[in-house]
Structure 1
Amino acid sequence: MTTPEHSPLGKSTVYADRYDPGLLFPIPRSIKREEIGVGEPLPFYGVDIWNAYELSWLDARGKPVVALAEFRVPATSPNIIESKSFKLYLNGFAQERIADASALIDTLSRDLSAAAGATIDVRLSDTSAQGHAIVDLDGHVIDTLDIDVDDYGPPKADYLHATTSDVVEETLVSNLLRSNCPVTGQPDWGSVQIRYRGPRIDPAGLLRYLVSFRNHNEFHEQCVERIFVDVTARCAPQQLSVYARYTRRGGLDINPFRSSVAATPGNPRGARQ
């Protein structure tokens, strides 16, 4: 069974430098979605945007090439790909001769799509800083609210509530999101943007709720879906999107986006990424 306990997480690993698609380890989304009450049809649209900062291969003459890669995994895919297996797979290209970037993109797309069970969009870019500016998430940052906090998990949806019935449209941001890998317990640090239209969400309650993920063990994608489901249930927004930007680990960052309306998010690199 493809559960995290059977993955490379938390185990001593030989870092191969030759191509091996068998390293990719898929994990079904359905297990966690059943736990948080997400069924079919999905109550959201979405994508998981992965950025890879440690991708290298050899050109046809044996000279190393480096690039940055962006992978877009649709939320409708049956599986997520466990991040350490993703890293090991990418490292496997280090000593492989690849004819050109297009050939590498075709290989990456084929292998990753097979693991996820859906088509994954792959884009390569050069390492020039000009094309990778650091920007802040758009929205009002709620982290400076003067509140007492003494609850760090598990997540408490009871903190969430709407303060008025008046319909507003706003975007709230917090950089205080932290959760933990469900296998190794390693912390995952992130920022989260919540854009909505509907009754005004109490920002203090939202901040307490987000902080209550601090000792919670769950993958990035699952945390974002939990936030989407809880905000929807407790605050009844007419429209909602949740976008988390996590810091990188092992040369990869994961940035899940879930929305009640079909939308294509940008890929804004934050200062901690």
Structure 2
Amino acid sequence: MSFASPADSPLGRHTTYADQYDPSLLFPIPRAPQRAQLGITGQPGFFGADLWTAFELSWLNMRGKPQVAIAHIVVPCESTHIIESKSFKLYLGSFSGTRIADPDEVRRRLQADVSAALWQGGPLQASAGVRLIAPDDFDREAVGELDGLNLDRLDIECDHYDAPAPEHLSAAFDEQPVEETLTSRLLKSNCPVTGQPDWGSVQIRYTGPQIDQAGLLRYIVSFRNHSDFHEHCVERMFTDLWQRCRPFKLSVYARYTRRGGLDINPWRTSHPGPAPAPVRTARQ
């Protein structure tokens, strides 16, 4: 499997699309450099996962008839690497002309290949989770919005767009703590390689000093022209909120709109627990 910087990935390059199964197409990118910018070294001080949905998965059965499925893939946040999304799309495309006996074999290959890429030769501490949705169950795939109090209702003035601005974050440390869930559909960042926009919604659950909502919304908007991968944006949000607002518990969950048949939905939490249900938003 390939390993280099994001600039060496297939993202933004002319590509030949393979139709024969090829796990070498997966392009891992280390998490450590971006985490180091946040002061995170070694094991991070949060739990969570990156929740992927693959809408363009197809292969041939042993008689050559095309089969289709939707794949839900759970990438543990403690993995040493993420997988660049275009390489993931190319890898999934390589199944399209490959004869495979049954869907469970597809699932096993996906789990083994993705897990190997995430740890890049290091000890496999946690495997990727893979679940396939058969066509007969497509109509059970839920669509809904993130629950919580919508920050977008606030009529505020915004003027920071080029980089995350944690100075907007504050909390009422001299008042009684609260437990609340806040959401926004105004999250946007840019791909660090191509500059293409990445659109998303974000949900923040916390217990602790009440966070100033207007400042939080300005902070979310400040990502608008920031260039970084989805996973790193959410980790930056979690770290800034944890340091600036000092909650007792915190969860940050973002759902980004799909590109190339893939959506990536990072979730980071201060306390271990079940991952959010894979309910896609209307924009996804």
TM-score computed with the length of structure 2 as normaliser: 0.94
Give the Cα separation in 1 of the matches to 2:131 and 2:279.
15
1:95 paired with 2:97, answer yes
Q: Is residue 210 from structure 1 mapped to residue 257 from structure 2 by the alignment?
A: no
* CA deviations over 1:50-101 (Å, ceiling 9, x no partner): 0000000001111100000000000000000000000000000001000001
Residue 77 of structure 2: aligned partner? 75
Residue of structure 2 equivalent to 1:142: 151
C-alpha RMSD of the superposition:
1.0
Distance 2:195 2:182 in 1: 28
Shift in Å at residue 136 of structure 1?
1.1
Whether 2:254 is the aligned partner of 1:256: answer no
SS in 2 for 1:172: strand
What are the residue-to-residue correspondences of 1:128-207 with 2, within 5 Å? 128-164=137-173, 165-207=175-217
Once the two structures are superposed, the pairs formed by residues 206-245 of structure 1 within 5 Å of their partners are 206-245=216-255
Counterpart Cα distance in 2 of 1:186 and 1:37: 27
* 1:147-174: CA deviation from partner (whole Å, max 9, x where unpaired): 1111112110000000353210000000
1:120 aligns to 2:128 (yes or no) = yes
Rounded to whole Å, the distance in 1 between the matches of 2:104 and 2:279 is 24
Question: Structure 2 unaligned runs (5+)?
Answer: none
- What amino acid is the match of 2:178? V
1:2 Cα deviation after fit: 1.5
Deviations 1:183-235 (A, max 9, x none): 10000000000000000001100000000000000000000000000001110
Specify the code of the residue in structure 2 equivalent to 1:24: L
Amino acid aligned to 1:124: L
Compute the displacement of 1:129 (Å). 4.2
Separation in 2, partners of 1:38, 1:70: 28
Choose from 12, 15, 27 the match for 2:14: 12
Secondary structure of the corresponding residue to residue 203 of structure 2:
strand
CA shift digits 1:102-121 (9 cap, x unpaired): 11111111111110014111
Q: Say how many residue pairs are matched.
A: 273
Q: Secondary structure at the match of 1:14?
A: coil
1:251 alignment partner AA: G
Equivalent AA in structure 1 for residue 45 of structure 2: P
Aligned partners of 1:83, 1:19: CA distance in 2, in Å? Answer: 17
CA apart distance, 1:263: 1.6
Partners of 1:224 and 1:272 lie apart in 2 by 19
Deviates more, 1:10-19 or 1:209-218: 10-19
Identity within the alignment, %: 57
Structure 2 distance, partners of 1:129, 1:6, is 36
Contact 2:43 2:78 in 1 (8 A): no
Instruction: Say yes or no: does 1:268 pair with 2:262.
Output: no
Q: CA deviation at 1:39?
A: 2.3
**Cα distance between partner residues in 2 of 1:137 and 1:255:** 12
SS of 1:166 mapped into structure 2: coil
> Which moved further from structure 2: 160-169 or 211-220?
160-169
> Which of 89, 109, 112 is the aligned partner of 1:110?
112
Shift of 1:38: 1.6
Q: Is the 8 A contact 2:30 2:82 kept in 1?
A: yes
Q: Distance in 1 between matches of 2:184 and 2:199?
A: 11
Structure 1: gaps of 5 or more residues: none
Offset of residue 270 of structure 1: 0.6
For normalisation by structure 1, the TM-score amounts to: 0.98
SS at 1:209 equivalent: helix
Secondary structure in structure 1 of the residue aligned to 2:239: helix
Q: Which moved more, 1:92-101 or 1:124-133?
A: 124-133
